[in-house]
A and B are shown apart, each in its own frame.
Chain A
Amino acid sequence: MTDSKYFTTTKKGEIFELKAELNSDKKEKKKEAVKKVIASMTVGKDVSALFPDVVNCMQTDNLELKKLVYLYLMNYAKSQPDMAIMAVNTFVKDCEDPNPLIRALAVRTMGCIRVDKITEYLCEPLRKCLKDEDPYVRKTAAVCVAKLHDINAQLVEDQGFLDTLKDLISDSNPMVVANAVAALSEIAESHPSSNLLDLNPQSINKLLTALNECTEWGQIFILDCLANYTPKDDREAQSICERVTPRLSHANSAVVLSAVKVLMKFMEMLSKDLDYYGTLLKKLAPPLVTLLSAEPELQYVALRNINLIVQKRPEVLKHEMKVFFVKYNDPIYVKLEKLDIMIRLASQANIAQVLAELKEYATEVDVDFVRKAVRAIGRCAIKVEQSAERCVSTLLDLIQTKVNYVVQEAIVVIKDIFRKYPNKYESVIATLCENLDSLDEPEARAAMIWIVGEYAERIDNADELLESFLEGFHDESTQVQLQLLTAIVKLFLKKPTETQELVQQVLSLATQDSDNPDLRDRGYIYWRLLSTDPVAAKEVVLAEKPLISEETDLIEPTLLDELICYIGTLASVYHKPPSAFVEGGRGVVHKSLPPRTASSESTESPETAPAGAPPGEQLDAVPTQGDLLGDLLNLDLGPPVSGPPLAASAVQMGAVDLLGGGLDSLIGATSFVAPPAAAVPANLGAPMGSGLSDLFDLTSGVGTLSGSYVAPKAVWLPAMKAKGLEISGTFTRQAGTISMDLQLTNKALQVMTDFAIQFNRNSFGLAPAAPLQVHAPLSPTQTVEISLPLSTAGSVMKTEPLNSLQVAVKNNIDVFYFSTLYPLHILFVEDGKMDRQMFLATWKDIPNENEAQFQIRDCPLNAEAVSSRLQSSNIFTVARRNVEGQDMLYQSLKLTNGIWVLAELRIQPGNPSFTLSLKCRAPEVSQHVYQAYETILKN
């Protein structure tokens, strides 16, 4: 019997023929006709016109025919809702059929007919089927509730189906339990707030029992559901883990991955000192490795997940490097993922093997793969210092192959190696220069130009080389143009005598002939720097660059934690949260790892956690190297220049801020006009170009603004309460000194003298650093402004709220008391910039329960402006990253008493609401830090 003939009916008028056949008396003919209809439907022909005729065939005792008609109904019922009602009777009747297979079929199909009118009729049969004696019917009915909920959620709630569904979790048949769990999980997703699943130790126990008995698919539903549960303490977490671990030996990879998800999540709650923790870690590795012998598509899913797992817990697979070696016949998607994981696992112990492999891969055919392999060699050099030399020589070998894209990729990574190990491998520059002509990709050209500029003094013909690039300046991409501009300026600063002409040429190309604002701006800045103060220019342009640390493509901690909760799912394959690819509200509830809660008295503090994951293993983002703008920004992110002369540092701050773009608005159009060509002094070396002083006027003006934000004065002590003395004031922080700016007004009729001030003990030990000095007696209606320097050396007592300050002011009349709140940012110290690695380690080290999240609403600034504004109040941006269009700023600040606060600020372009996550060992300050953020950003 072959059915393929049904696919070949393409005649005209076939619909009529079919109609006739459908109405035939002969059963066989009818069945044939319905098959033809289904075949037409499959290939996309519209056979909806046959609806009444097909429905007429429904009342039959031939189950095969019935199934075919049902299939048709599911597809076309929507187009003929009135006709579909005709079918209802048959459905209702079938739901009463003595044969459980037919009852189940009816209830299954009814749920698929998404017509509102039908749903009403569905309720009664469904209710019966949910309590059917046959488990096959019950398991089908359980799914049907989810279907109905999708069509009409209200109806499901009103009819009480949810409760019945919940009861099914205690059903005696494991498959019914599994389907009920699946249905409830799906319904719960669209009601994130409702406590539908209501997981508690008892229901969890039932699920774990069913887990041992149901089908592989049911096990997946149950494990995925378990992953949403948060055990109440580490003991419960451990006992669940113990019952889940046997699943790691299941033949179905999805069962294994879902079990891994549960374990990874619950492990978070276990103390690392526990023996069990170590056992569990050991148990995780073998099943993950086994996944790599599955079919390639599953390998891909597994590798994407392993990528997450090794970032979260590098210790799991650290000894398994070899299994990630690429096989010649692996599909390209598997190869690329394996390569990624190899680099993540590379360490001093295995680097020799890894390098040998990578070298092998660099000779393969697939261009993407080869490029990635070459880049990987560079990453190894940066990651494992001991291997750097070998990596460099491997790269040189590869350059000798003269394969164009290999050479280019190698040059890009060598530039990074120079950034990491300056003055070590410069001997290779000569080799690099030989390949100058073959570079045609912007990234490689930019990298080469950077190298030439950076080491101009060692390359005899650096000027010639750069000049050769300059010829086609306007055809280059922006990246190359910017790099070329910077490189020539560097060259000029190093060899001023021979290269004047070159630098003038590039400056005029960049400023006058270019439409690109970035290029023009940079050109002007150099121009002015060079013409005003070559020494300063040298300090800025040739400043020592911070070493780059490690790899760029680590997933940031919060996203990583979220993705760990999605192991096995699409989110873990895309490495994106579900909200990025799922429409509507479904499944976009943010998940997070559970905090660690110990049931026992063992009060182990997070600081004592053993260094299971050495912080050095995972490092933070590196700014795009070679981009001078980046270099300069790094400069300004560094610790402040020592030596406090205000004027000098103001100049520098100004210049730097200018580059950061934070002051665009301040500069305005008026003061920053392009210097006319004639104004450029012929002798660039001349100290101080006269026409440029305005720029510096401007910056010194800016300098005063560069301190912390100062709130306008508020009245602290009204005259009524203080016998005529009115005190208003505010707090400032400038150049490391906190002061209380007071305004005393005498609203009484008598002269006031003998002022003194005293603070009550407070949380941060604020105390006057000098006596309150009011020089002359304060006569009536007179106002005097005083700045009272404060120190933080006073005695400390925790106040409530934390930032309240009680002050007593005395004069010749009386003693007055008032209390005020000081903004926390006056306590943010200037050296509050944390090193990136420290930041990452500290962030991980601080337990999750100390994390607080806030929303900053209605802030129209962009990330740059935010960053520069916060910096002027000593909140330092440690790193910045762009994730799916969102800017993530990682910031640190330190309070006067040495408390560090780490922040992650998430900014979405176009959305004025920011999300601020704060982590601090002393979580009580978070609220006040958040207020400080609000104040700084909104004023």
Chain B
Amino acid sequence: MIGGLFIYNHKGEVLISRVYRDDIGSQAADSAVFSSSGPLQEERLEANRRNAVDAFRVNVIHARQQVRSPVTNIARTSFFHVKRSNIWLAAVTKQNVNAAMVFEFLYKMCDVMAAYFGKISEENIKNNFVLIYELLDEILDFGYPQNSETGALKTFITQQGIKSQHQTKEEQSQITSQVTGQIGWRREGIKYRRNELFLDVLESVNLLMSPQGQVLSAHVSGRVVMKSYLSGMPECKFGMNDKIVIEKQGKGTADETSKSGKQSIAIDDCTFHQCVRLSKFDSERSISFIPPDGEFELMRYRTTKDIILPFRVIPLVREVGRTKLEVKVVIKSNFKPSLLAQKIEVRIPTPLNTSGVQVICMKGKAKYKASENAIVWKIKRMAGMKESQISAEIELLPTNDKKKWARPPISMNFEVPFAPSGLKVRYLKVFEPKLNYSDHDVIKWVRYIGRSGIYETRC
């Protein structure tokens, strides 16, 4: 299991260090040989801990080359690291731990910290180090991750110190039953005057296209994010135009199948928040759950079939002699004319030896950014079924560099008000048997946002 956790700043200085197991440090095993209790051994253990801390600093943070792997083995000690802005989080172990779990835990830890004090920065970590130690004590015991749902944690660990002094016995047992309970993500007795919920279908559409316009790979990775403000312990049931469900239902009336079949989508795979009853999904493909209070990610999904690609990029690059490039890029929007895409940005890479660029574009603004080696073309809004183009002349400095320019792909960013996968929310039903509000009383909001993921066209 995880033997220790360290947080470093960008200089490699330790901000947080929590050791869960003695074996951390390269000489840990040897020290047992000289084993003598008392200060001597303690010094050695302390030295070991520092060894592990330093080993990571020297071999990873200060390593001359870019890190080639997120898992590093130094002197039989394994280091897992993730980076958040310029903060390094490292988990250390000497055992054959579950590697996927360690990374999941590190991400979770980041989430928990962010939920408590916002951005993970050196400043924030130093300001909250006592809190972080407290959290680490709670969510990791002897290297085993424990309940790490922020909702539950916030009931008894707060930035303002611990409330427990004034808690009643009932409150205490409520906390412990929530932390360990089946529904660890929600506490009882939540009350709202207005029962309301928001559903956001957020999709990122990914594309890799060849210069000739052939789709090399395309997929949508989507998330359904729910914000719930519901009283009591509401039972929810979520339905969407999942092909499998619709075909199952439509079996009776063949007519309906063909009609609705058009609108249904084939989901390659999906994963759910831990509140969703997976066995029920597996057997009936129905999504039922008791939601956490507030915002959470209900599900993630991936589709690869019948994706609406909101934009098509047509590149044309011509090398005119050795010192000049002519680039022309056309973008076409491919959705209903009544809809508007926003925040459109096209990034056209330029060679490293570019000396000057002249750009002409019909719409939006385009600029050559030397520091990024790219022409960035921004358009605020664009309706569907439209077309726009940019042309640029790139002057090159003559070089004797034999290596050819790698021609990175042209990438695009945008936001559209629909789900490129075609996913539609069919219903979200709420039942609360104990309190007297019904499904009709709940105010529900649904929104679709499609964003570009990695949306690239090779040129």
Contact = CB atoms under 8 A, between A and B. Distances in A.
Interface of A: 1-4, 6-7, 35, 38-39, 42-44, 46, 48, 61-64, 67-68, 70-71, 75-76, 78-79, 81, 98-102, 104, 108, 111-112, 114-116, 134-137, 139-140, 143-144, 146-147, 150, 173-176, 179, 182, 186, 212-213, 215-217, 220-221, 224, 243, 245-247, 249-254, 256-258, 286-287, 289-290, 293, 295-298, 300-302, 322-323, 325, 327-329, 332-333, 353, 356-357, 360, 363-365, 401-404, 566, 568-574, 578, 581-584, 586-587
Contacts of B411: 328
Contact of B17 (A42, A102, A586): A42
B378 to A, nearest CB: 20
B408 to A, nearest CB: 6
Contact of B164 (A63, A76, A302): A63
Interface string B257-287: 0000000000011111110011101100000
B14 to A, nearest CB: 6
B141 A108 contact: yes
B315 to A, nearest CB: 15
B66 A332 contact: yes
B169 A252 contact: no
Contacts of A38: 129-130, 133
Interface stretch (B34-42, B228-236, B242-250, B443-451): B34-42
Counting from the closest, the 6 A-B pairs by CB-CB distance are A286-B269, A136-B176, A4-B126, A79-B42, A254-B100, A246-B282
B39 A98 contact: no
Nearest to B267: A286
A249 B146 contact: no
Contacts of B129: 3-4, 6-7, 38-39, 42
B69 A333 contact: yes
Contacts of B66: 332
A569 B96 contact: yes
B13 A363 contact: no
17 contacts: A35-B130, A71-B133, A79-B39, A99-B172, A101-B164, A112-B20, A150-B22, A212-B277, A213-B182, A217-B148, A220-B101, A251-B273, A298-B104, A325-B208, A402-B402, A403-B403, A570-B95
Contact of B208 (A2, A173, A298, A327): A327
A246 B271 contact: no
Contacts of A174: 182
B99 A569 contact: yes
Contacts of A217: 101, 105, 144-148
Contacts of B100: 253-254, 256-258, 298, 301-302, 568
Interface in B14-41: 14-17, 19-23, 29, 37-39, 41
Given A1-B127, A290-B269, 13 more contacts: A44-B50, A46-B46, A48-B39, A99-B167, A101-B175, A135-B180, A179-B146, A258-B100, A258-B101, A289-B302, A568-B99, A581-B76, A583-B29
A46 B49 CA distance: 13
A328 B184 contact: no
Contacts of B20: 112
Nearest to B152: A215
Contacts of B175: 101, 136
Contact of A300 (B21, B71, B149, B302): B71
Given A251-B274, A290-B302, A212 B279 contact: yes
Contact of B282 (A112, A249, A365): A249
B105 to A, nearest CB: 8
Given A101-B164, A403-B403, A573-B71, A71 B180 contact: no
Contacts of A332: 66, 68
B271 A249 contact: yes
Interface residues of B, number: 116
B42 A76 contact: yes
B101 A254 contact: yes
Residue with the highest number of chain B CB atoms closer than 10 Å, among A79, A249, A256, A295: A249
B302 A101 contact: no
B237 interface: no
Given A71-B137, A220-B101, A135 B279 contact: no
Given A71-B137, A249-B272, A587-B95, A4 B123 contact: yes
B177 interface: yes
Contacts of B11: none
Contacts of A325: 208, 216-217
Given A38-B133, A224-B98, A78 B42 contact: yes
Nearest to B131: A3
A114 B97 contact: no
Contacts of A135: 176-177, 180-181
A745 B104 CA distance: 80
The DSSP consensus for interface residues of chain A is helix
A351 to B, nearest CB: 15
Contacts of B123: 4
A323 B221 CA distance: 13
Interface of B: 1, 13-17, 19-23, 29, 37-39, 41-43, 45-46, 50, 53, 66-71, 73, 76, 78, 80-82, 93-101, 103-107, 123, 126-130, 133-134, 137, 141-142, 144-149, 156, 159, 161-162, 164-165, 167, 169, 172-173, 175-177, 179-182, 184, 208, 210, 216-217, 219, 221, 268-274, 277-279, 281-282, 297, 299-300, 302, 402-404, 406-409, 411, 454, 456, 458
B41 A78 contact: yes
B217 A323 contact: yes
Given A2-B127, A253-B104, A332-B68, A301 B76 contact: no
Contacts of A252: 104, 274
B97 A570 contact: yes
A75 B177 CA distance: 30
A404 B403 CA distance: 9
Contact of A179 (B107, B144, B282): B144
B275 to A, nearest CB: 10
A403 B402 contact: yes
A64 B138 CA distance: 13
Contacts of B184: 175, 215
A587 B162 contact: no
Contacts of B148: 215, 217
B97 A569 contact: yes
A289 B173 contact: no
A108 B95 contact: no
B94 A182 contact: no
A250 B270 CA distance: 8
Given A42-B16, A249-B282, A328-B456, A289 B176 contact: no
A333 B268 contact: no
B142 A100 contact: no
Nearest to A256: B271
A100 B22 CA distance: 28
Contacts of A322: 216-217
B340 to A, nearest CB: 28
Contacts of A582: 76, 94-96
A357 B271 CA distance: 30
Contacts of A2: 126-127
Contacts of A4: 123, 126-127, 129
Contacts of A114: 22
A594 B102 CA distance: 27
A475 B157 CA distance: 68
Contacts of B147: 175, 215, 217
Given A136-B179, A217-B101, A295-B82, A328 B409 contact: yes
A255 to B, nearest CB: 8
B37 A401 contact: no
Contact of A293 (B106, B161, B167, B221): B221
A569 B98 contact: yes
Nearest to B40: A79
A584 B22 CA distance: 14
Contact of B156 (A81, A101, A587): A101
Contact of B165 (A61, A79, A179): A61
A72 B344 CA distance: 54
